Amino acid sequence: MKHRAEVRINLEALAYNIAHVKGDSKADLLAVVKANAYGHGLLPVAEAALAAGVTWLGTALLEEALELRKGGITAPLIAWLTPIGEDFESAINLNIDLSVPSIAILHEISAASQKLGKRARVHIEVDTGMTRGGLLEEWQQFLGILPTAHVDVVGFWTHFARADEQLSDYTQIQINGFEQMLVDLQGAGFTPQYIHYANSAATLLRVGTDQNILRVGIAMYGLSPDLGFMGTSAGLGLKPVMSIAAKLHLVKQVPAGSPVGYGGTAITEKNTILGVVPMGYADGIPRNATSLTGVTHNGNRAPIIGRLSMDQFVVDLGPDSTAQAGDEVLVISESGYTADDWAIASSTINYEIVTRIAARVPRISV
């Protein structure tokens, strides 16, 4: 490898996960490529997902959607986190669907549509229990205003809060509320073409797969929506798309009793060989990661020792290691320390592990 570290993106695994998640559902798949495709690379992942049979793309931010259009993507595309003052005119001109979670945003999108003389395509977002985005207390007032807006209502959607919790009845409560709000919308004279609420967890558990769009995010990247409730990524039959490799910067023999890193928070228990990995929290490696994770060298695990730094961390290669400076080690890999392992070792979730990897680490498609 020519870089000090690189993120390797397995696009064949991406295609496998898309087919695995879709199963026998007749619904369209919407690939969620927000946050630089969960850290995997926005444009390459979007192109690969479309080639694998995905119909729609979804981003949180409008600038991400605009970047996809600039990159030549012409597929149906929705952006759903667009605060007041966004460039709605560009979105409308470029045929980017927009989410409407409030009366205020409806007014802005409608005004932009009228100015352009082109009706915006919108998906109405309702809050059915996430208590985050979507219409809630404004709902009845919104229904009274909607007929006067210069928009085409093409979609209706919500977001599940606890779809990963198989034994909870909360998702069904949300579905019930959603269906009632859909009746309200239809009563106001609107019959949206696209109905969607199933996220990765719901899709894997076959909840909501009777709707005509399934929004697949984390599972497309080969990761479990929730390690506690749904189990590991491998246990769900998913193949991780991201792996990370780095070169060993230094390899050194040290005696027992050597303090390692800032603050000397770890002390070697015996004579051993340490390796310095040229990645740190500036690269998105969690500073609070423990010795439950580390790297693999030729299939052998080498746990983190000491406090992780901005640009580097130290691993204990063991007294019998044959590693040399310049050797490749795997930071995240399917057969070594996985994104799930890093999440557990850092008291976080695998979503954060992959999305936080910094742009200064090159993405390489393999």
Q: At what angle do helices 42-51 and 62-70 cross, to 10 degrees?
A: 70
Residue of 22, 34, 239, 247 marked active site:
34
Tokens representing residue 336 in the block: 């070594």
Return the SS3 of 297: strand
Neighbouring-strand partners of residue 294: 303
Residue 170 catalytic? no
Q: How far apart are CA 227 and CA 231, in angstroms?
A: 4
Residue of 115, 252, 262, 270 marked active site:
262
Question: In the Cβ-directed half-sphere of 332, how many Cα atoms lie within 13 Å?
Answer: 29
CB 53 within 8 A of CB 26: no
Instruction: Classify residue 201 by burial, with Cβ atoms within 10 Å: 0-12, 13-18, 19+.
Output: buried
CB 35 within 8 A of CB 60: yes
Give the residue among 246, 255, 251 at the shortest CA–CA distance from 323.
Answer: 251
Residue 34 catalytic? yes
> Which whole-number Å values give the CA distances from 120 to 34, 112, 123, 201, 214, in the listed order?
21, 8, 10, 30, 22
Q: Which amino acids are annotated catalytic?
A: 34, 262
